[in-house]
Structures are given as structure tokens and as C-alpha cells.
């Protein structure tokens, strides 16, 4: 099917996900990554346990008040809840649009620096996306990763390759009716200052949109998922929240076209509270473009929830999830009061993190 066939639907889907006061729950950890999360609470990484955990998330009553979309790993898109109903149905009952991670992970970038990667998964993507659409998915995610080092990263090669991959992916899934979430993550690893992050991020995002134009991507039917503009994790003094908000908005205003309906930030290792506070401050700044500025958090929505669930406490887990979902929903309209919802202040940053 040609992109033009889906154009109106893509715009509608993107606008529905980027509605004011709503954000995305990222639950697309690969089987290996979710295994690390489950191990942290002493739960074995079996299909039944993954199903029980995610089934708990997707039956949290009222979650749809704060969350418009959930990104799933392939296993979950085709999985049933322990009660026999499909996970897709559970989400739809809450008014949450199901999405799917379609990339096949990071690979070493030949010709780049040792730490540099490209994101794989383009082969057969139009066909795979059509299967996911058939199964109920309406949007997709692809995560490219760049790193700042003091010896020249990201290289131009890495910026070009990752931007091109994101644009090829975006065009490919749009051909099958899925709204692409375009995710050029810049890792927090390093000791660089915030000005360095801003300069790199501006160049990366501009390169991504140039590649999108060359590939004929329909921008109104896309969402951007960037990292926030923060100093490197080893930089001192620690990040100033107001400066992070201002530098992030400045970077977005310099590089993201106004036709993109929504920017949904990743949490990238920020603590739950910091992720809410930074987003809230961003939404207090008057902006030049009208994009909805919201969240697509994985760790910052699930950390205290996972702990509260602990393998069996459904009610406790759901309560913790709803608390962070509400906090971030408020932050997406600039009305979050710091500390008004329970959260964990634990830094979730892990150097060299792989998803």
C-alpha cells in the first residue's frame, strides 16, 4: 500500500497520541533487558512472568487518562493476558493505542569509533510493519543511539548513518500505516557540559529531518523521541533543572519542524522525579512551535511500579504506575507540583546502557 493511502490515518493517529495531557508508556524492553529488570526484584525471566508483569500494567484502571500509547516488544503484541484476553484488547479497553518496537537492535558501526553503532532491522520492514498493523499496532519505534566522547564522537559517519536509518525506517512503516516514533537518543555517558550536548543534538536532529525530507516522510504522521539536553552524567556540578528545560526547548526550536505534532522525551536514566520535574519546567516555557511536549518513558514510569509489584502485588504495582503516569501527565501541561506523587529519586543511569 502506498503512503498516500494511509496519509490521513497517519495524521490522525499521531495527533491522537500527542493529545494534550497524554504521554507514552514504553514497555518494549527486549527479552534480555526485561530479564535484568525482573532479576532486580528476584523474579525469573520466564514468559509467564513477563506476561504477569505486563498484564498487570495493562489492566491498571484509569491509565488511559494519562497514557495515550504503549510501546510493546513483539512478544507482547502477539500475547494474551493470563486471563486469556489479548494484550492488545486490554490496552484498547483502556483507550491506549498499541505500538511496537520494530528495530532489531544496535550493531557495531564499521568505520566508526569503537563505541559507535547503527540500528539494524530495515530488511523486510514494510512487510513486518504490515503484519503488526494487522495485529492492532498503530505506531512504531526505532531507537538509534549516539554517544559523545572527548575523542570525536559522534563522528559524521555515525550521524549520517543513524539519521538515514531513522528516515528509511520512518518511510517504511508509514507505507504500512504505522506512525513512526523517531528516536535519536544521545546517551548521558561522559563528562561534557550541557553546551556540548546541545550543539551535538542540534546537528543530529537537523540531519534526521534532512534525511526524512529526502525520503518523503510525512512529518505530520510522525513523532520525535529525543533525549533531554543534559550535561554528561560525569559532569560537575550536577544539572540545573531550569537550565536543562531551557536548553532542551532551545535545541528543539532550532531543529524540529513545526509540522511534527509531538515531541515525546525518553527518560534515559534520569530518576523518576527528575524526569517529571524537567518535563514540567519545559512546559512552563512559552514556545515558538505548537508541538505537544510530553513523555515516552520506560524506566521513569516503571521503576517504583516494578518494585511495588515485586512479582505478585498487582494492586501495589498499579498504584505506583498510576502515580507516575499522573505526575507525568501533569508535567506535560506544566502543572506538576514537585513531590506531589510518590516516586523514587534513585538515579537510574547505567553507563553503557543497552536496551
Site residues (vs ligand 13P, CB under 6 A): 26, 28, 143, 183, 266-268, 297-300, 355
- Residue pair 62/26 in contact (Cβ under 8 Å)? The answer is no
Q: Which is nearer to ligand 13P, 119 or 200 (CB)?
A: 119
DSSP secondary structure string, 235-276? -SSPPPHHHHHHHHHHHHHHHS-TT--EEEE--TT--HHHHH
With respect to ligand 13P, which residue has the nearer C-beta, 140 or 153?
140
Q: For residue 234, what is the DSSP state?
A: T
Peptide bond into 198 cis (omega under 30): no
**Phi and psi (nearest 5°) for 2?**
-80, 160
CB 185, min distance to ligand 13P, A: 6
Rounded Cα distance between 4 and 348, Å, is 42
Q: How far is the CB of 119 from ligand 13P (least distance, A)?
A: 11
Closest CA to 146 of 110, 169, 115, 192: 115
Which residue among 22, 101, 141, 225 is the active-site one?
225
Residue nearest ligand 13P by beta-carbon distance: 298
Burial label, 141 (beta-carbon count in 10 A; 0-12, 13-18, 19+): buried
315 classed as catalytic: no
Task: Name residue 183's beta-bridge partners.
Answer: 143
Taking the complex as a whole, the smallest distance from the CB of residue 171 to ligand 13P amounts, in Å, to: 20
Cell of 301: 514510569
| Residue with smaller CB distance to ligand 13P, 6 or 23 | 23
Closest approach, Cβ 21 to ligand 13P, in A, equals 19
Q: Name which of 6 and 297 has its Cβ closer to ligand 13P.
A: 297
Q: Answer yes or no: are the C-beta atoms of 215 and 170 closer than 8 Å.
A: yes
Q: How far is the CB of 29 from ligand 13P (least distance, A)?
A: 8
Classify the phi-psi angles of 313: left when phi > 0, otherwise alpha if psi is within -120 to 50, otherwise beta. Answer: beta
Q: How far is the CB of 160 from ligand 13P (least distance, A)?
A: 21
User: Is 225 among the residues known to form the active site?
Assistant: yes
Which contacts of 84-91 are long-range, i.e. CB under 8 A and separated by 24 or more positions? 86/136, 87/54, 87/55, 87/58, 88/135, 88/136, 88/137, 90/55, 90/58, 90/59, 91/58
Complex with ligand 13P: residue 218 or 300, whichever CB lies closer: 300
Q: What angle do CA 334, 339, 342 make, to 5 degrees?
A: 115
**CA-based diameter of the chain, in Å?**
53
Q: Among 183, 185, 273, 330, which one carries the catalytic annotation? A: 183
Q: Contact 70/98 with Cβ under 8 angstroms?
A: yes
H or E element that contains 144: strand 139-146
Closest separation in Å from C-beta 71 to ligand 13P: 6
**CB nearer to ligand 13P: pick between 142 and 209:** 142
Nearer to ligand 13P by Cβ, of 118 and 297: the residue is 297
Q: Any idea which residues carry the catalytic annotation?
A: 183, 225
Amino acid at each position: 500500500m502506498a503512503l498516500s493511502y494511509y496519509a490521513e490515518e497517519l495524521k490522525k493517529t499521531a495527533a491522537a497520541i500527542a493529545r494534550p495531557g497524554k504521554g507514552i508508556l514504553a514497555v518494549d524492553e527486549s527479552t534480555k533487558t526485561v530479564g535484568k529488570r525482573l532479576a532486580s526484584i528476584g523474579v525469573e525471566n520466564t514468559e509467564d512472568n513477563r506476561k504477569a508483569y505486563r498484564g498487570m500494567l495493562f489492566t491498571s484502571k484509569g491509565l488511559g487518562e494519562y497514557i495515550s500509547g504503549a510501546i510493546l516488544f513483539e512478544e507482547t503484541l502477539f500475547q494474551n493476558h493470563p486471563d486469556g484476553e489479548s494484550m492488545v484488547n486490554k490496552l484498547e479497553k483502556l483507550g491506549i493505542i498499541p505500538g511496537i518496537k520494530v528495530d532489531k537492535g544496535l550493531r557495531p558501526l564499521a568505520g566508526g569509533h569503537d563505541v559507535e553503532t547503527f540500528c539494524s532491522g530495515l530488511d523486510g520492514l514494510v512487510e513486518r510493519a504490515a503484519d503488526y498493523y494487522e495485529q492492532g499496532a498503530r505506531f512504531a519505534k526505532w531507537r538509534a543511539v549516539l554517544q559523545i566522547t572527548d575523542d570525536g564522537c559522534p563522528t559524521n559517519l555515525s550521524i549520517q548513518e543513524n539519521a538515514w536509518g531513522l528516515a528509511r525506517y520512518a518511510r517504511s512503516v508509514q507505507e504500512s500505516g504505522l506512525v513512526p516514533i523517531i528516536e535519536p537518543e544521545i546517551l548521558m555517558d561522559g563528562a561534557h557540559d550541557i553546551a556540548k550536548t546541545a550543539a551535538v543534538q542540534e546537528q543530529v536532529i537537523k540531519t534526521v529531518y534532512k534525511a526524512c525530507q529526502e525520503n518523503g516522510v510525512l512529518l505530520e504522521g510522525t513523532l520525535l523521541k529525543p533525549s533531554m539536553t543534559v550535561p554528561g552524567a560525569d559532569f560537575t556540578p550536577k544539572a540545573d533543572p531550569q537550565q536543562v528545560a531551557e536548553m532542551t526547548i532551545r535545541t528543539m526550536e532550532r531543529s524540529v519542524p513545526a509540522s511534527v505534532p509531538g515531541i515525546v522525551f525518553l527518560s534515559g536514566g534520569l530518576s523518576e522525579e527528575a524526569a517529571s520535574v524537567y518535563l514540567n519546567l519545559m512546559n512552563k516555557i512559552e514556545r515558538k512551535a505548537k508541538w505537544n511536549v510530553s513523555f515516552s518513558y520506560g524506566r521513569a514510569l516503571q521503576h517504583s511500579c516494578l518494585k511495588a509489584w515485586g512479582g505478585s502485588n498487582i494492586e501495589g504495582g498499579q498504584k505506583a504506575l498510576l502515580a507516575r503516569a499522573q505526575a507525568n501527565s501533569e508535567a506535560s501541561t506544566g502543572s506538576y507540583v514537585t513531590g506531589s506523587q510518590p516516586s523514587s529519586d534513585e538515579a537510574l543511569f547505567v553507563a553503557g546502557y543497552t536496551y
